[in-house]
Chain A
């Protein structure tokens, strides 16, 4: 039982029983932080300054830097910055549009529109990019269709900067859909009414009253979008655009000889990326500390949707809303449709009722391969579904285990740490623990992964002399990397939920005799559980189809789901039959898994005990009505 000892109470604290726990906890924390965050990244940083002059053999600290800036490397950085700046503009335009159209303006069918706009929540990254390519790429349905109409149409039209910008614009509005929506729903409608009452025109109300309250959220979203743009990986790599991250991965996998000190250049590039991130996050942090425009009203009125008075404006708004809806929904609909089409239909990109099949999900089929001048060859089981294709199945299993382990590990570490932080409130050690957990936030994922790949590809003494990069060890390394990059997000979310715990609850539990551990387990954890589950689910969702880290590790023992999906989009290289069909089914599978998890977390998990009991009672009543009152169902059956 740890007692809250006040300063000045003068009791010697160094001899009590919890000393062992404290020392053990402290040592473990230091081991994890220094060993898995500081050491690998420091190694990367130092590697930049360790290159030798080939003739003299002396170390030239600035050799890499001067070489780097004299070559074409800065152009990659410039491209990334251009992409990031453009993304900030387009994502904000589309993001603000979708939120205003569904939450602020009175647009017919807003509920359906919202569902469409939120589809990026259930598929993102590699799944989304391959989906867009399935539609717009060289063999894409839309491209083929346009070629049918205009034979001169350039089938490589969807490539380079604008294609990446287009894809990422729609891929990156998920945060707007979540956070900006919350912000706008929190607006006190009385302020809108007051402005109207004082004579402000609706547009003026929007610009002068509504938008300023959204600014803090928009600012955070802008910074996050900028970082996303800088760190873009799957879209530039697949669609084709020279940006930082794909180049780092390429350099990391390059042997010397082809290019001068590729690893050191990759390290330097990831450090430059880190500097960008640090500057941006410092600005964001500084801004957030200045405080928000919090609503001052005690009684908030619910926002009433604004009808657009101008008939032309109203029509245009509706057209715009449904155009966006089509852009969001088209890939989803096409992917779902083709996931139920057979090999022939998918290859010809011509869906038909006769071609409906579930083979892309389950089962296998032989394929007749035509050979010039010879009898066609039958390839047995060449067409396989997501769950029957051994490579895909293995990758799903691997990614599932890795993502679930890392998401769970991050939650456990953060819950324990936040519990400690709150107990030691206002003390230096709490600040240190928090800063350590937020540390990975400053570093781009690619830097952490690159550092892991290089650093742990040696026998490291503090991991029992093992090389974590070789063999199946790499899976453990991937779990650690996944966990590390998810810690800051988990910390921010779970810490916020701890504030919701009334301090008196803890006192009450202690007064009734509960130990610190029991209080955490029985009182605090149940209260924050919805948030912990949400963090777990969101982290799991993003890790399950995670591409950047899997690609950086580039190890056959870490062939993750996203990498397998990537390989499906270039089937000609893999000689993989039915890759396109399986890719569609894969994306549908990801949508179902993510959708289900989001529903469980936000739909079911967010209900409090009162709501759950009420629902149970209602279900019981319904069941009793159905079965007749004589048969009284047990509580368990009803539940």
Chain B
């Protein structure tokens, strides 16, 4: 697949502080690519380097074979949807969307036609186009921001945590719409988020950032089930670090750190072949509705486990259970400390 944009050894400095250390990443055409990481990890800085708001100290930004490292922002043909949406409050919805086209000095009828077309695609009515942005709901504002970014027909669209301003339910709803829209438009999308669930559900591929480095690039399944580093394993999803006793019982190398995901720990499944079976006692539980998280005291540590809330495997605090750990499910990393 041809690449749409490629960063090679990008270094960004803010004064003495080096925010990005030789970042290299390649995004393919039509791909939904996510930069994931905790705050301050460099994901937004990388995005702003791509859009041209930041000049890297070293390295190149290459778009379809053309070096755009020092091309001005407005000549890059990269659209952006901001965290705050950055809708112009003194303009109507229509004027917001038309802004970029007016700067391109397009004729009025052409602008009108393009605005109408994009509005239809993102489900904005004619009535809404006449409104002030402050009169729209959060979800509608987001659609305006997307329409404004897409109407100039950019080659890439960048989104900087576009769902972080919304409440939990709307986030999930808009997440699905976003994915649908991206599929329909077929546009290369670079998405920045700190929310691992968002990253896993939306992305074709994910780059996990930490302290200005990329720890891993891969599909959601790769980064979740085959996390390359301890940081990735810990950052994405919940995980158990295995204590000395279990490590010893399983014959794992003691100098490494070993982890197992919660859903891979099996409770009361004696027939599980090859798995280490440990006796345990339910210490406490957290009720989530869809599932229940149990803290089981076993082999001198608290092992976290989740069980589907299906009415079958329900345990009370104090119940005695067996905990099964399969060597196949264990992720091991060289100790960093």
Listed in ascending order, the chain A residues whose CB lies under 8 Å from chain B are 1, 3-11, 502, 504-505, 507-514, 518, 522-523, 526-527, 529, 608-610, 612-614
Contacts and interface: CB of A to CB of B under 8 A. Distances in A.
B38 interface: no
Interface string B37-80: 00000000000000111111100000000000010111000111
Contacts of B169: none
Interface stretch (B112-120, B128-136, B207-215, B325-333): B128-136
Contact of B80 (A505, A507, A612): A507
8 contacts: A504-B83, A504-B84, A507-B53, A508-B80, A509-B88, A608-B134, A610-B132, A614-B135
A613 B56 CA distance: 44
Most interface-central of B52, B88, B92, B134 (chain A CB within 10 A):
B88
Contact of A8 (B15, B84, B89, B148): B15
A609 B89 contact: yes
A613 B133 CA distance: 11
Contacts of B313: none
A613 B135 contact: yes
B86 A502 contact: yes
A527 B86 contact: no
B7 to A, nearest CB: 16
Most interface-central of B51, B57, B86, B104 (chain A CB within 10 A):
B86
Interface of B: 12-15, 51-57, 70, 72-74, 78-80, 82-84, 86, 88-92, 99-100, 103-104, 130-135, 148, 152
Given A6-B12, A7-B15, A505-B88, A511 B134 contact: no
A8 B73 contact: no
Contacts of B74: 1, 510-514
A509 B90 CA distance: 13
Contacts of B54: 4, 6
Contacts of B83: 504
B99 A7 contact: no
A609 B12 contact: no
Contact of B91 (A11, A510, A518, A609): A609
B89 A511 contact: no
A526 B79 CA distance: 24
B184 to A, nearest CB: 22
A6 B74 CA distance: 18
A3 to B, nearest CB: 6
Contacts of A518: 103
A511 B158 CA distance: 11
B90 A513 contact: no
A513 B71 CA distance: 12
A398 B219 CA distance: 74
Contacts of A505: 86, 88
Contact of A511 (B73, B88, B130): B73
Contact of A1 (B15, B72, B78): B72
B90 A526 contact: yes
Contacts of B73: 1, 3, 510-511
Nearest to B160: A504
A502 B14 CA distance: 21
A65 B219 CA distance: 83
A529 B82 CA distance: 24
Contacts of A526: 88, 90-91
Contacts of B72: 1, 3
Nearest to A1: B72
B74 to A, nearest CB: 4
Nearest to A529: B90
Given A1-B74, A511-B80, A609 B14 contact: no
A8 B13 CA distance: 7
Contact of B100 (A3, A4, A513): A513
Contact of B82 (A508, A522, A523, A612): A508
Contacts of A7: 13-15
A513 B154 CA distance: 12
Given A527-B90, A610-B134, 16 more contacts: A3-B73, A6-B12, A6-B57, A9-B55, A9-B57, A504-B84, A507-B53, A508-B86, A508-B88, A511-B53, A512-B100, A513-B104, A608-B132, A608-B134, A609-B91, A613-B132
A184 B270 CA distance: 69
Contacts of B132: 608-610, 612-613
B99 A509 contact: yes
A72 B91 CA distance: 63
Given A609-B134, A613-B135, A511 B15 contact: no
Most interface-central of B12, B13, B99, B134 (chain A CB within 10 A):
B99
A613 B80 contact: no
A192 B99 CA distance: 48
Contacts of A6: 12-14, 54-55, 57
A611 to B, nearest CB: 8
A608 B72 CA distance: 33
A512 B99 contact: yes
A142 B89 CA distance: 54
Nearest to B158: A511
A8 B134 CA distance: 39
B55 A3 contact: yes
Nearest to B151: A512
Contacts of A512: 74, 99-100, 103, 148, 152
Contacts of B92: 609, 613
* Complex A-B, nearest 10 residue pairs according to Cβ-Cβ distance, in ascending order: A526-B90, A513-B74, A512-B100, A610-B132, A504-B86, A609-B132, A508-B86, A610-B134, A504-B82, A9-B55
Most interface-central of A512, A608, A613 (chain B CB within 10 A):
A512
Contacts of B51: 511
Nearest to B131: A613
